[in-house]
Amino acid sequence: MEMMETWEVSKVIFLSEGFIAIIFIVFGILAYAVIPRKPNWIMGYRTKRALKNQDTWVFAHKHFGKQMIIFGLVYVALLITRFFLFDNDASTWIYWVIVAAQVVSVLLALIPTEIALRKKFDKDGNRKGGSNSGI
């Protein structure tokens, strides 16, 4: 009976991790492809730098969206690896490692996006070097 309960818990953990990975990918696609029309404080990637103008707004969404898709795909790979390489006894601590990594990765997706904004735009939101091309 205990073996069955452990397997059931493992399935729930696997499904919850998979759900979170899918959310990362879906939100990444949405951030990249469905950008709110105008910079606003209600919806979208909202940092002071991203809200400067339409150009910084679009750039930040596309960059952040790519980051979230990458993190989501990494989590899918980790999830599959965990499922095939680790037994049920190891699943609990690996689950918490993956959950911690997911929480941290949201913050980590912000950092490269803000760095990219800083490299691409000046403090007033104008593109550096006069380039008006995309990301």
Read off the pLDDT of residues 71-129 as tens digits, 9 standing for 90 and up. 899 888 888 877 777 665 555 676 677 777 777 877 788 899 999 999 999 999 999 98
Question: How many angstroms separate the CA atoms of 80 and 68, rounded?
Answer: 18
Average pLDDT, rounded, for the chain:
82
**70: confidence class by pLDDT, cuts 50, 70, 90:** very high
Q: What percentage of the chain has pLDDT greater than the value 90?
A: 39
Q: Kindly give, in sequence order, each residue whose CB lies less than 8 Å from that of residue 38, ignoring residues fewer than 6 positions away.
A: 54, 57
Please state, in angstroms and rounded to a whole number, the distance separating the CA atoms of residues 128 and 3.
61
Q: What confidence score (pLDDT) does residue 1 get?
A: 44
Report domain extents, the chain.
2-128
- Contacts of residue 79, defined as CB under 8 A and 6 or more positions apart, other chains included, come to 14, 17, 18, 21, 98
pLDDT exceeds cutoff 80 at 18:
yes
Question: For position 130, what pLDDT does the model report?
Answer: 62
